[in-house]
Structure 1
Amino acid sequence: MRAIILAAGLGSRLLQTEDRLSPKCLLRFEGMTLLERHLRLLRAQGVEDIVLGLGFEYQQVEAELDRMNWTPRPAITINSQYTLGSVLTVHTVADALTAGGDVLLMDADVLYDERVLAPLVAGASANRLLIDRAFEEGDEPVKLCVRDGVPVELRKQVAANLAFDTIGESVGFFRLTESAARRFADIVAGYIDSGRANLPHEEAVRDLLLEQLQTPTHAFDVADVTGAPWIEIDFPNDVVRAADEVLPQLEPLPLVTQ
Protein backbone atom coordinates (compact mmCIF):
# COMPACT_ATOMS: atom_id res chain seq x y z
CA MET A 1 0.00 0.00 0.00
CA ARG A 2 1.21 3.47 -0.91
CA ALA A 3 0.28 6.78 0.73
CA ILE A 4 0.19 10.00 -1.28
CA ILE A 5 0.08 13.09 0.94
CA LEU A 6 -1.03 16.31 -0.73
CA ALA A 7 0.85 19.27 0.75
CA ALA A 8 1.37 21.71 -2.12
CA GLY A 9 -1.08 24.49 -1.27
CA LEU A 10 -0.32 28.03 -0.21
CA GLY A 11 -2.53 27.90 2.88
CA SER A 12 -3.29 31.59 2.45
CA ARG A 13 -6.29 31.43 4.81
CA LEU A 14 -3.93 30.52 7.62
CA LEU A 15 -1.29 33.08 8.56
CA GLN A 16 1.54 31.40 10.41
CA THR A 17 3.91 32.64 13.06
CA GLU A 18 6.35 35.46 12.47
CA ASP A 19 4.03 36.97 9.86
CA ARG A 20 5.02 34.47 7.21
CA LEU A 21 3.40 31.55 5.48
CA SER A 22 4.67 27.99 5.72
CA PRO A 23 3.22 24.75 4.38
CA LYS A 24 0.43 23.66 6.71
CA CYS A 25 1.98 20.23 7.13
CA LEU A 26 4.68 21.97 9.19
CA LEU A 27 2.24 23.19 11.83
CA ARG A 28 3.46 21.95 15.20
CA PHE A 29 1.38 20.51 18.02
CA GLU A 30 3.21 19.62 21.21
CA GLY A 31 6.42 20.22 19.29
CA MET A 32 5.66 17.79 16.46
CA THR A 33 4.71 18.70 12.89
CA LEU A 34 1.63 17.35 11.17
CA LEU A 35 4.00 15.75 8.67
CA GLU A 36 5.80 13.75 11.34
CA ARG A 37 2.47 12.67 12.80
CA HIS A 38 1.38 11.42 9.36
CA LEU A 39 4.57 9.41 8.96
CA ARG A 40 4.39 7.90 12.45
CA LEU A 41 0.76 6.85 12.08
CA LEU A 42 1.28 5.41 8.61
CA ARG A 43 4.29 3.42 9.80
CA ALA A 44 2.22 2.01 12.66
CA GLN A 45 -0.23 0.72 10.03
CA GLY A 46 2.56 -0.81 7.98
CA VAL A 47 2.63 1.86 5.28
CA GLU A 48 6.21 2.80 4.41
CA ASP A 49 5.86 3.71 0.71
CA ILE A 50 5.02 7.43 0.91
CA VAL A 51 4.93 10.16 -1.73
CA LEU A 52 4.63 13.86 -0.91
CA GLY A 53 2.98 16.20 -3.41
CA LEU A 54 4.64 19.52 -2.59
CA GLY A 55 4.63 23.04 -4.01
CA PHE A 56 4.67 26.17 -1.89
CA GLU A 57 7.93 26.49 0.08
CA TYR A 58 8.73 22.84 -0.54
CA GLN A 59 12.27 23.46 0.67
CA GLN A 60 10.88 23.87 4.20
CA VAL A 61 9.34 20.40 4.00
CA GLU A 62 12.60 18.94 2.72
CA ALA A 63 14.36 20.56 5.66
CA GLU A 64 11.90 18.94 8.06
CA LEU A 65 12.58 15.54 6.49
CA ASP A 66 16.30 16.22 6.94
CA ARG A 67 15.71 17.09 10.59
CA MET A 68 13.73 13.91 11.19
CA ASN A 69 16.20 11.78 9.22
CA TRP A 70 13.19 9.67 8.30
CA THR A 71 13.97 6.41 6.51
CA PRO A 72 12.87 5.31 4.06
CA ARG A 73 12.66 8.94 2.97
CA PRO A 74 9.35 9.81 1.28
CA ALA A 75 9.52 10.48 -2.44
CA ILE A 76 8.76 14.06 -3.48
CA THR A 77 7.02 15.54 -6.51
CA ILE A 78 6.77 19.29 -7.02
CA ASN A 79 3.76 21.18 -8.36
CA SER A 80 5.26 24.49 -9.43
CA GLN A 81 1.78 25.89 -10.12
CA TYR A 82 0.59 25.30 -6.56
CA THR A 83 -1.73 28.33 -6.61
CA LEU A 84 -4.06 26.35 -8.86
CA GLY A 85 -6.34 23.57 -7.63
CA SER A 86 -5.23 20.43 -5.86
CA VAL A 87 -6.26 18.36 -8.89
CA LEU A 88 -3.05 19.61 -10.52
CA THR A 89 -1.01 18.34 -7.56
CA VAL A 90 -2.64 14.94 -7.99
CA HIS A 91 -1.67 15.04 -11.65
CA THR A 92 1.98 15.55 -10.67
CA VAL A 93 1.87 12.31 -8.65
CA ALA A 94 0.24 10.27 -11.43
CA ASP A 95 3.18 7.86 -11.52
CA ALA A 96 2.60 7.03 -7.86
CA LEU A 97 -1.10 6.52 -8.52
CA THR A 98 -0.43 4.02 -11.28
CA ALA A 99 2.57 2.17 -9.81
CA GLY A 100 0.43 -0.72 -8.56
CA GLY A 101 -1.30 -1.73 -5.34
CA ASP A 102 -3.82 0.13 -3.21
CA VAL A 103 -3.27 3.87 -2.78
CA LEU A 104 -4.14 6.18 0.09
CA LEU A 105 -4.76 9.77 -1.00
CA MET A 106 -4.49 12.07 2.00
CA ASP A 107 -4.72 15.78 2.73
CA ALA A 108 -1.69 16.95 4.72
CA ASP A 109 -3.49 19.53 6.85
CA VAL A 110 -5.34 17.10 9.13
CA LEU A 111 -4.67 16.38 12.81
CA TYR A 112 -5.97 12.89 13.65
CA ASP A 113 -5.07 9.62 15.30
CA GLU A 114 -5.14 5.90 14.60
CA ARG A 115 -8.90 5.63 15.14
CA VAL A 116 -9.30 7.53 11.87
CA LEU A 117 -6.55 5.82 9.90
CA ALA A 118 -7.04 2.21 10.99
CA PRO A 119 -10.50 1.74 9.38
CA LEU A 120 -9.17 3.20 6.14
CA VAL A 121 -6.35 0.69 5.76
CA ALA A 122 -8.16 -2.38 7.12
CA GLY A 123 -8.51 -5.32 4.76
CA ALA A 124 -6.62 -6.59 1.76
CA SER A 125 -7.95 -4.18 -0.87
CA ALA A 126 -10.79 -1.67 -1.12
CA ASN A 127 -12.12 1.56 -2.50
CA ARG A 128 -13.06 3.37 0.70
CA LEU A 129 -14.28 6.74 1.95
CA LEU A 130 -14.41 7.95 5.54
CA ILE A 131 -17.50 9.62 6.97
CA ASP A 132 -17.99 11.62 10.16
CA ARG A 133 -21.71 12.04 10.87
CA ALA A 134 -21.08 14.51 13.74
CA PHE A 135 -20.14 17.42 11.52
CA GLU A 136 -20.91 21.11 11.54
CA GLU A 137 -23.31 22.24 8.83
CA GLY A 138 -22.10 24.91 6.45
CA ASP A 139 -20.54 25.52 3.06
CA GLU A 140 -16.99 24.50 4.01
CA PRO A 141 -17.25 20.75 4.80
CA VAL A 142 -17.16 18.31 1.89
CA LYS A 143 -20.32 16.27 2.42
CA LEU A 144 -20.51 12.53 1.90
CA CYS A 145 -24.03 11.23 1.26
CA VAL A 146 -24.89 7.54 1.58
CA ARG A 147 -27.98 5.62 0.52
CA ASP A 148 -28.48 2.00 1.64
CA GLY A 149 -24.80 1.79 2.53
CA VAL A 150 -23.66 3.06 -0.87
CA PRO A 151 -21.98 6.49 -1.23
CA VAL A 152 -23.92 8.58 -3.75
CA GLU A 153 -22.46 12.09 -3.44
CA LEU A 154 -19.24 13.79 -2.44
CA ARG A 155 -19.43 17.58 -2.60
CA LYS A 156 -19.68 20.75 -0.55
CA GLN A 157 -23.04 21.59 -2.09
CA VAL A 158 -25.61 18.78 -2.19
CA ALA A 159 -28.54 18.92 -4.59
CA ALA A 160 -31.85 19.44 -2.80
CA ASN A 161 -33.50 16.53 -4.62
CA LEU A 162 -30.78 13.98 -3.88
CA ALA A 163 -32.08 10.89 -2.08
CA PHE A 164 -29.90 9.63 0.78
CA ASP A 165 -30.34 8.27 4.31
CA THR A 166 -27.00 9.30 5.85
CA ILE A 167 -24.92 12.44 5.52
CA GLY A 168 -21.62 13.39 7.09
CA GLU A 169 -18.34 15.09 6.42
CA SER A 170 -15.68 13.43 4.34
CA VAL A 171 -12.45 13.25 6.31
CA GLY A 172 -10.45 13.93 3.14
CA PHE A 173 -8.64 10.59 3.09
CA PHE A 174 -9.43 8.18 0.26
CA ARG A 175 -8.36 4.61 -0.46
CA LEU A 176 -8.27 3.35 -4.04
CA THR A 177 -7.59 -0.11 -5.44
CA GLU A 178 -4.98 -0.47 -8.17
CA SER A 179 -7.58 -0.42 -10.97
CA ALA A 180 -9.50 2.49 -9.43
CA ALA A 181 -6.28 4.47 -8.93
CA ARG A 182 -5.44 4.05 -12.61
CA ARG A 183 -8.90 5.18 -13.62
CA PHE A 184 -8.64 8.12 -11.21
CA ALA A 185 -5.35 9.16 -12.83
CA ASP A 186 -7.11 9.17 -16.21
CA ILE A 187 -9.94 11.30 -14.84
CA VAL A 188 -7.45 13.78 -13.38
CA ALA A 189 -5.58 13.95 -16.69
CA GLY A 190 -8.89 14.80 -18.35
CA TYR A 191 -9.33 17.70 -15.95
CA ILE A 192 -5.93 19.07 -16.90
CA ASP A 193 -6.49 18.61 -20.64
CA SER A 194 -9.86 20.39 -20.46
CA GLY A 195 -8.55 23.43 -18.59
CA ARG A 196 -9.91 22.49 -15.17
CA ALA A 197 -6.59 22.46 -13.30
CA ASN A 198 -7.98 25.04 -10.87
CA LEU A 199 -10.44 22.61 -9.27
CA PRO A 200 -10.08 20.63 -6.03
CA HIS A 201 -9.18 16.98 -6.43
CA GLU A 202 -12.35 15.96 -4.59
CA GLU A 203 -14.25 16.76 -7.80
CA ALA A 204 -12.28 14.08 -9.62
CA VAL A 205 -12.86 11.63 -6.75
CA ARG A 206 -16.56 12.45 -7.09
CA ASP A 207 -16.45 11.57 -10.79
CA LEU A 208 -14.92 8.21 -9.93
CA LEU A 209 -17.53 7.69 -7.22
CA LEU A 210 -20.43 8.44 -9.59
CA GLU A 211 -18.99 6.04 -12.15
CA GLN A 212 -19.29 3.21 -9.64
CA LEU A 213 -23.03 3.82 -9.43
CA GLN A 214 -23.20 2.69 -13.06
CA THR A 215 -20.74 -0.20 -12.81
CA PRO A 216 -19.46 -2.26 -9.86
CA THR A 217 -15.88 -2.16 -11.16
CA HIS A 218 -14.80 0.60 -8.77
CA ALA A 219 -17.47 0.21 -6.09
CA PHE A 220 -16.79 2.18 -2.90
CA ASP A 221 -17.52 1.30 0.67
CA VAL A 222 -17.74 3.69 3.62
CA ALA A 223 -16.06 3.51 7.00
CA ASP A 224 -17.78 5.47 9.75
CA VAL A 225 -15.30 7.28 12.01
CA THR A 226 -17.86 9.31 13.92
CA GLY A 227 -16.48 10.05 17.38
CA ALA A 228 -12.85 9.62 16.38
CA PRO A 229 -10.84 12.83 16.92
CA TRP A 230 -9.72 14.73 13.83
CA ILE A 231 -9.76 18.22 12.36
CA GLU A 232 -8.84 19.74 9.01
CA ILE A 233 -6.92 22.95 9.54
CA ASP A 234 -7.88 25.77 7.19
CA PHE A 235 -8.37 28.84 9.39
CA PRO A 236 -6.64 30.34 12.45
CA ASN A 237 -9.50 29.20 14.66
CA ASP A 238 -8.88 25.63 13.49
CA VAL A 239 -5.39 25.80 14.97
CA VAL A 240 -6.87 26.78 18.33
CA ARG A 241 -9.47 24.02 18.17
CA ALA A 242 -6.84 21.50 17.13
CA ALA A 243 -4.69 22.33 20.16
CA ASP A 244 -7.46 22.75 22.72
CA GLU A 245 -10.09 20.21 21.64
CA VAL A 246 -8.60 17.56 19.35
CA LEU A 247 -5.04 17.11 20.61
CA PRO A 248 -6.09 16.08 24.16
CA GLN A 249 -8.24 13.29 22.66
CA LEU A 250 -5.50 11.70 20.58
CA GLU A 251 -4.02 8.35 21.49
CA PRO A 252 -0.26 8.45 22.24
CA LEU A 253 1.74 8.29 19.05
CA PRO A 254 3.48 4.99 18.38
CA LEU A 255 7.20 4.81 19.04
CA VAL A 256 9.33 5.14 15.92
CA THR A 257 12.12 2.75 15.04
CA GLN A 258 14.39 3.82 12.20
Structure 2
Amino acid sequence: MTLDFPVRAAFRALILAAGRGRRLGGGDQQPPKVLLRFGGETLLARHLRLLERAGAGRVSLVVGYRREAIEAELERIGRRGSVDLIENAAWQQGSVVSLDRAGHLFDGAAPVVLMDGDVIYDHRLLERLLGGCGPGTLLLDREIEPGDEPVKICVAGLQRIVDFAKRPDVTHDWHGESVGFFRFAPRLAVQVATAARALVAAGGDMTEYEASIRGLIRADEDGTVFGFEDVTGLPWTEIDVMDDVEKAQALLPSLAS
Protein backbone atom coordinates (compact mmCIF):
# COMPACT_ATOMS: atom_id res chain seq x y z
CA MET A 1 0.00 0.00 0.00
CA THR A 2 1.31 3.47 -0.89
CA LEU A 3 1.22 5.89 2.01
CA ASP A 4 0.31 9.53 1.63
CA PHE A 5 2.63 10.48 4.49
CA PRO A 6 6.37 11.14 4.23
CA VAL A 7 8.66 8.71 5.99
CA ARG A 8 8.90 9.61 9.70
CA ALA A 9 10.25 8.09 12.86
CA ALA A 10 7.60 5.94 14.51
CA PHE A 11 5.54 7.72 17.11
CA ARG A 12 3.50 6.47 20.02
CA ALA A 13 -0.22 7.16 19.93
CA LEU A 14 -2.41 7.59 22.99
CA ILE A 15 -6.20 7.69 22.64
CA LEU A 16 -8.29 8.91 25.57
CA ALA A 17 -11.48 6.83 25.74
CA ALA A 18 -12.32 6.28 29.41
CA GLY A 19 -15.49 8.37 29.74
CA ARG A 20 -19.14 7.44 29.31
CA GLY A 21 -20.45 10.18 27.06
CA ARG A 22 -23.43 10.89 29.32
CA ARG A 23 -24.74 13.71 27.10
CA LEU A 24 -25.56 11.14 24.42
CA GLY A 25 -28.16 9.57 26.70
CA GLY A 26 -28.63 5.82 27.02
CA GLY A 27 -27.73 5.61 30.70
CA ASP A 28 -25.53 2.75 31.84
CA GLN A 29 -26.14 0.88 28.56
CA GLN A 30 -24.71 3.69 26.46
CA PRO A 31 -21.66 2.27 24.64
CA PRO A 32 -18.33 4.06 25.01
CA LYS A 33 -18.15 6.79 22.38
CA VAL A 34 -15.28 5.07 20.56
CA LEU A 35 -17.72 2.24 19.77
CA LEU A 36 -20.18 4.46 17.91
CA ARG A 37 -20.51 3.27 14.32
CA PHE A 38 -20.27 5.40 11.22
CA GLY A 39 -20.32 3.86 7.79
CA GLY A 40 -20.22 0.37 9.31
CA GLU A 41 -17.01 1.10 11.26
CA THR A 42 -16.53 2.06 14.90
CA LEU A 43 -14.61 5.19 15.79
CA LEU A 44 -12.05 2.92 17.44
CA ALA A 45 -11.51 0.82 14.33
CA ARG A 46 -11.20 4.00 12.28
CA HIS A 47 -8.63 5.50 14.65
CA LEU A 48 -6.51 2.37 14.54
CA ARG A 49 -6.69 2.07 10.77
CA LEU A 50 -5.67 5.68 10.18
CA LEU A 51 -2.92 5.59 12.81
CA GLU A 52 -1.45 2.47 11.24
CA ARG A 53 -1.56 4.17 7.86
CA ALA A 54 0.21 7.20 9.35
CA GLY A 55 3.10 5.08 10.64
CA ALA A 56 2.25 4.82 14.34
CA GLY A 57 4.23 2.47 16.50
CA ARG A 58 2.45 1.06 19.52
CA VAL A 59 -1.04 2.43 20.18
CA SER A 60 -2.35 2.78 23.73
CA LEU A 61 -5.92 3.36 24.82
CA VAL A 62 -7.03 4.70 28.20
CA VAL A 63 -10.23 2.89 29.15
CA GLY A 64 -12.61 2.96 32.10
CA TYR A 65 -16.36 2.91 31.43
CA ARG A 66 -17.40 -0.47 29.96
CA ARG A 67 -13.87 -1.64 29.31
CA GLU A 68 -15.16 -5.09 28.40
CA ALA A 69 -17.07 -3.69 25.41
CA ILE A 70 -13.90 -2.09 24.07
CA GLU A 71 -11.99 -5.32 24.57
CA ALA A 72 -14.67 -7.18 22.63
CA GLU A 73 -14.40 -4.73 19.74
CA LEU A 74 -10.61 -5.13 19.64
CA GLU A 75 -11.09 -8.88 19.48
CA ARG A 76 -13.65 -8.52 16.70
CA ILE A 77 -11.34 -6.44 14.51
CA GLY A 78 -8.27 -8.56 15.28
CA ARG A 79 -6.41 -5.84 17.20
CA ARG A 80 -6.53 -7.11 20.79
CA GLY A 81 -2.85 -8.00 20.85
CA SER A 82 -1.62 -4.81 19.19
CA VAL A 83 -3.25 -2.20 21.43
CA ASP A 84 -2.24 -1.56 25.03
CA LEU A 85 -5.13 -0.86 27.39
CA ILE A 86 -4.49 1.47 30.34
CA GLU A 87 -7.07 1.30 33.10
CA ASN A 88 -8.57 4.45 34.60
CA ALA A 89 -10.91 3.24 37.32
CA ALA A 90 -11.60 6.88 38.22
CA TRP A 91 -13.09 7.59 34.79
CA GLN A 92 -15.86 9.72 36.30
CA GLN A 93 -13.29 12.29 37.36
CA GLY A 94 -11.58 14.79 35.06
CA SER A 95 -9.74 13.59 31.99
CA VAL A 96 -6.42 14.76 33.46
CA VAL A 97 -6.58 11.54 35.48
CA SER A 98 -6.56 9.52 32.24
CA LEU A 99 -3.53 11.45 31.05
CA ASP A 100 -1.79 10.85 34.37
CA ARG A 101 -2.55 7.11 34.24
CA ALA A 102 -0.73 6.99 30.89
CA GLY A 103 2.21 9.06 32.08
CA HIS A 104 4.65 6.16 31.78
CA LEU A 105 4.29 6.36 27.98
CA PHE A 106 5.72 9.88 28.01
CA ASP A 107 9.23 8.72 28.83
CA GLY A 108 11.22 10.79 26.34
CA ALA A 109 11.97 7.83 24.08
CA ALA A 110 9.67 8.75 21.16
CA PRO A 111 7.27 11.43 19.94
CA VAL A 112 3.74 11.07 21.28
CA VAL A 113 0.47 11.77 19.50
CA LEU A 114 -2.37 12.41 21.96
CA MET A 115 -5.94 12.11 20.66
CA ASP A 116 -9.45 12.49 21.96
CA GLY A 117 -11.27 9.27 21.14
CA ASP A 118 -14.59 10.91 20.30
CA VAL A 119 -13.58 12.60 17.04
CA ILE A 120 -14.33 11.51 13.47
CA TYR A 121 -11.98 13.09 10.98
CA ASP A 122 -10.47 13.16 7.53
CA HIS A 123 -7.08 11.41 7.46
CA ARG A 124 -5.47 14.63 6.22
CA LEU A 125 -5.77 16.03 9.75
CA LEU A 126 -3.25 13.43 10.90
CA GLU A 127 -1.00 14.34 7.99
CA ARG A 128 -1.07 17.99 9.04
CA LEU A 129 -0.42 17.07 12.66
CA LEU A 130 2.58 14.90 11.88
CA GLY A 131 3.97 17.46 9.47
CA GLY A 132 3.96 20.26 12.05
CA CYS A 133 7.21 21.96 12.97
CA GLY A 134 8.55 22.52 16.44
CA PRO A 135 8.30 20.46 19.61
CA GLY A 136 4.53 20.76 20.04
CA THR A 137 1.78 20.91 17.42
CA LEU A 138 -1.97 21.52 17.88
CA LEU A 139 -4.67 21.45 15.20
CA LEU A 140 -6.73 24.63 14.83
CA ASP A 141 -10.01 25.18 12.99
CA ARG A 142 -11.03 28.81 12.42
CA GLU A 143 -14.66 27.77 11.96
CA ILE A 144 -15.60 27.76 15.63
CA GLU A 145 -19.02 27.74 17.24
CA PRO A 146 -19.69 30.58 19.69
CA GLY A 147 -19.88 29.91 23.41
CA ASP A 148 -17.84 28.25 26.14
CA GLU A 149 -18.00 24.65 24.92
CA PRO A 150 -15.23 24.65 22.27
CA VAL A 151 -11.65 24.56 23.56
CA LYS A 152 -10.02 27.63 22.05
CA ILE A 153 -6.49 28.04 20.71
CA CYS A 154 -5.77 31.74 21.20
CA VAL A 155 -3.24 33.40 18.93
CA ALA A 156 -1.35 36.70 19.11
CA GLY A 157 -0.30 38.05 15.74
CA LEU A 158 -0.30 35.32 13.12
CA GLN A 159 1.29 32.35 14.83
CA ARG A 160 2.07 32.64 18.57
CA ILE A 161 -0.27 30.64 20.80
CA VAL A 162 -0.87 32.53 24.04
CA ASP A 163 -3.73 30.63 25.66
CA PHE A 164 -5.59 27.34 25.39
CA ALA A 165 -8.91 27.00 27.22
CA LYS A 166 -12.67 27.02 26.92
CA ARG A 167 -12.70 30.37 28.74
CA PRO A 168 -9.39 32.06 27.91
CA ASP A 169 -8.28 35.03 29.97
CA VAL A 170 -5.24 36.20 28.01
CA THR A 171 -5.44 39.04 25.50
CA HIS A 172 -5.16 37.69 21.97
CA ASP A 173 -5.87 38.71 18.40
CA TRP A 174 -7.95 35.75 17.27
CA HIS A 175 -8.77 32.15 18.13
CA GLY A 176 -9.88 28.89 16.60
CA GLU A 177 -11.18 25.59 17.92
CA SER A 178 -8.88 22.79 19.02
CA VAL A 179 -9.53 19.46 17.29
CA GLY A 180 -8.24 17.60 20.33
CA PHE A 181 -5.19 16.10 18.60
CA PHE A 182 -1.63 16.92 19.65
CA ARG A 183 1.91 15.94 18.69
CA PHE A 184 4.66 16.25 21.30
CA ALA A 185 8.37 15.79 20.72
CA PRO A 186 9.91 13.36 23.23
CA ARG A 187 11.19 15.94 25.70
CA LEU A 188 7.98 17.96 25.59
CA ALA A 189 5.94 14.79 26.12
CA VAL A 190 7.76 14.30 29.43
CA GLN A 191 6.81 17.84 30.45
CA VAL A 192 3.15 17.24 29.59
CA ALA A 193 3.06 14.07 31.70
CA THR A 194 4.79 15.83 34.58
CA ALA A 195 2.25 18.66 34.44
CA ALA A 196 -0.64 16.18 34.52
CA ARG A 197 0.86 14.37 37.49
CA ALA A 198 1.31 17.67 39.34
CA LEU A 199 -2.31 18.67 38.73
CA VAL A 200 -3.64 15.38 40.10
CA ALA A 201 -1.27 15.47 43.08
CA ALA A 202 -2.47 18.98 43.91
CA GLY A 203 -6.09 17.82 44.08
CA GLY A 204 -7.06 18.78 40.55
CA ASP A 205 -8.49 15.37 39.68
CA MET A 206 -11.71 16.92 38.36
CA THR A 207 -9.71 18.97 35.85
CA GLU A 208 -9.69 18.29 32.11
CA TYR A 209 -6.40 17.22 30.55
CA GLU A 210 -6.13 20.42 28.49
CA ALA A 211 -5.11 22.25 31.67
CA SER A 212 -1.75 20.48 31.74
CA ILE A 213 -1.04 21.62 28.17
CA ARG A 214 -2.35 25.11 28.89
CA GLY A 215 0.18 25.71 31.63
CA LEU A 216 3.05 24.85 29.30
CA ILE A 217 1.63 27.05 26.53
CA ARG A 218 1.37 30.03 28.86
CA ALA A 219 4.97 29.48 29.94
CA ASP A 220 6.10 29.48 26.28
CA GLU A 221 6.53 33.26 26.22
CA ASP A 222 8.54 33.46 23.01
CA GLY A 223 6.32 31.02 21.13
CA THR A 224 9.10 28.60 20.19
CA VAL A 225 7.69 25.44 21.78
CA PHE A 226 4.07 25.26 20.61
CA GLY A 227 2.67 25.87 17.16
CA PHE A 228 -0.46 24.97 15.24
CA GLU A 229 -1.55 23.63 11.91
CA ASP A 230 -4.63 25.26 10.38
CA VAL A 231 -7.11 22.56 9.30
CA THR A 232 -9.97 24.90 8.44
CA GLY A 233 -12.04 23.39 5.66
CA LEU A 234 -11.10 19.77 6.38
CA PRO A 235 -14.05 17.71 7.67
CA TRP A 236 -14.11 16.59 11.30
CA THR A 237 -16.36 16.76 14.33
CA GLU A 238 -16.19 15.94 18.01
CA ILE A 239 -19.11 13.84 19.21
CA ASP A 240 -20.60 15.05 22.47
CA VAL A 241 -24.39 15.17 21.92
CA MET A 242 -26.90 13.55 19.57
CA ASP A 243 -26.72 16.48 17.16
CA ASP A 244 -23.02 15.66 16.75
CA VAL A 245 -23.89 12.08 15.79
CA GLU A 246 -26.11 13.41 13.02
CA LYS A 247 -23.38 15.82 11.95
CA ALA A 248 -20.87 12.96 11.81
CA GLN A 249 -23.20 10.89 9.65
CA ALA A 250 -23.59 13.83 7.27
CA LEU A 251 -19.79 14.23 7.08
CA LEU A 252 -19.13 10.65 5.97
CA PRO A 253 -19.30 11.29 2.19
CA SER A 254 -16.72 14.08 2.49
CA LEU A 255 -14.17 12.15 4.55
CA ALA A 256 -11.04 11.08 2.69
CA SER A 257 -10.12 7.86 4.41
CA RMSD of aligned residues (A): 1.8
Q: 1:62–1:241: structure 2 CA closer, same or farther, 3 Å change rule?
A: same
Match of 1:256 in 2: none
Distance 1:150 1:215, change over 3 A: closer
1:119 to 114, 128, 133: 128
Matched, 1:7 2:20: no
1:159-170 alignment, distance < 5 Å = 159=169, 162-170=170-178
For residue 193 of structure 1, the aligned residue among 187, 197, 201 is: 201
Does residue 150 of the first structure (1) align with residue 160 of the second (2)?
Answer: yes
**TM-score (norm: length of structure 2):** 0.91
* Preserved CA contact (<8 Å) 1:102 1:126: no
Q: Which residue of 1 aligns with 2:109?
A: 100
Query: How do 1:213-228 and structure 2 match up within 5 A?
Result: 213=221, 216=224, 219-228=225-234
Q: Distance in 2 between matches of 1:19 and 1:97?
A: 32
- Trace 1:207-218 onto structure 2 (pairs within 5 A): 207-213=215-221, 216=224
Superposed CA deviations along residues 157-202 of structure 1, whole A, max 9, x for unmatched, are: 122xx33233100001111111111111111111111110111000
- Structure 1 counterpart of 2:118: 109
Q: Which residue of 1 aligns with 2:6?
A: none
- Whole-angstrom distance in 2 between the partners of 1:60 and 1:140: 28
Partner of 2:246: 240
CA distance in 2, matches of 1:214, 1:146: 12
Q: What pairs with 1:20-169 in structure 2 (closer than 5 Å)?
A: 20-70=29-79, 73-98=82-107, 100-122=109-131, 126-148=135-157, 149-159=159-169, 162-169=170-177
Counterpart-to-counterpart distance in 1, 2:132 and 2:202: 36
> How far apart in 2 are the matches of 1:58 and 1:74?
13
CA distance in 2, matches of 1:158, 1:50: 32
Shift in Å at residue 125 of structure 1?
Answer: 6.4
The amino acid that maps onto 1:172 is: G
* Preserved CA contact (<8 Å) 1:54 1:79: yes
How far apart, CA to CA, are the structure 2 residues paired with 1:117 and 1:215? 22
Q: Which amino acid aligns with 2:48?
A: L
SS of 2:115's partner is strand
| Residue pair 1:24, 1:108 contacting (<8 A) in 2 also | yes
Stretches of structure 1 that go unaligned for 5 or more consecutive residues are 254-258
Structure 2 portions without partners, runs of 5+: 1-10
Following superposition, the deviation at residue 123 of structure 1 comes to 5.8
Task: Count residues in correspondence.
Answer: 246
Mapped to 1, the partners of 2:177 and 2:13 lie a distance apart of: 21
Q: Is the 8 A contact 2:199 2:205 kept in 1?
A: yes
C-alpha deviation, 1:64, in angstroms: 0.5
Show CA shifts across 1:48-85 (max 9, x none).
Answer: 31110111001111110000002761111000010000
1:215/1:224 CA distance change after superposition, 3 Å:
closer
Shift of 1:235: 0.4
Conserved in 2, the CA contact under 8 Å of 1:41 and 1:113? no
Q: How many Å apart are 1:43 and its aligned residue?
A: 1.1
Code of the aligned partner of 1:173: F
Q: Take 1:5 and 1:143, find their aligned partners in 2: how far apart are those partners?
A: 20
How many percent of aligned residue pairs carry the same amino acid? 39
TM-score (structure 1 length as normaliser): 0.90
Alpha-carbon separation, structure 1, partners of 2:183 and 2:206: 23
Deviation at 1:122, TM superposition (A): 1.5
